[in-house]
Amino acid sequence: MKLFLPSARATNVLLIVGFAALGYALYIRYLAIEQSAVGLACGAGLDTWLCLTRKTATTLFQNSVFGIAALAVAAINLLRPSLLLFAVALALACIGVVLYNVVLSSLAIGLLILSLARREPEQA
């Protein structure tokens, strides 16, 4: 019985994915969403990539898309562990925790931790 544990190289890649997602979410939250000057400029009709990103992120976190997607991918990963699914769920959960989808994203992180106790899928 071999558990689903990432190798050292895979762990390094997962660390990079997690920190990159966390950094981008922090950038969006504190430099685009919560800055009043950016909000006023975008509300006045400024048409830049930052305003588009702000509008998209705001729409997604108001509808809990980050949390729902992280929870769905983490649940699939719990059923059938895979490094790709783990990385996607980790990135979505990191973004969701920073961008106001804390409850669902925290559940997804819990499922990701549980998936490390699962058996590795058998090779076909």
> Is residue 69 included in any domain, yes or no?
yes
Q: What is the mean pLDDT of residues 88-117?
A: 96
**What is the residue-averaged pLDDT of the chain?**
94
Tell me if 94 is assigned to some domain.
yes
120 assigned to some structural domain: no
pLDDT at position 38 over 90: yes
- Structural domain harbouring 39: 11-115
- pTM value is 0.92
Q: Look-up: residue for tokens 């400024």?
A: 46
- Which residue's structure tokens are 């590795």? 120
Q: Give the per-residue pLDDT at 124.
A: 66
Contacts of 3 (CB under 8 A, 6+ apart): 116, 117, 118, 119, 120
105 falls within a domain = yes
Residue 3: predicted pLDDT: 86
What is the arithmetic mean of pLDDT over 79-108?
96
Domain count, the chain: 1
Asked if the model's pLDDT at residue 119 lies above 90, the reply is no
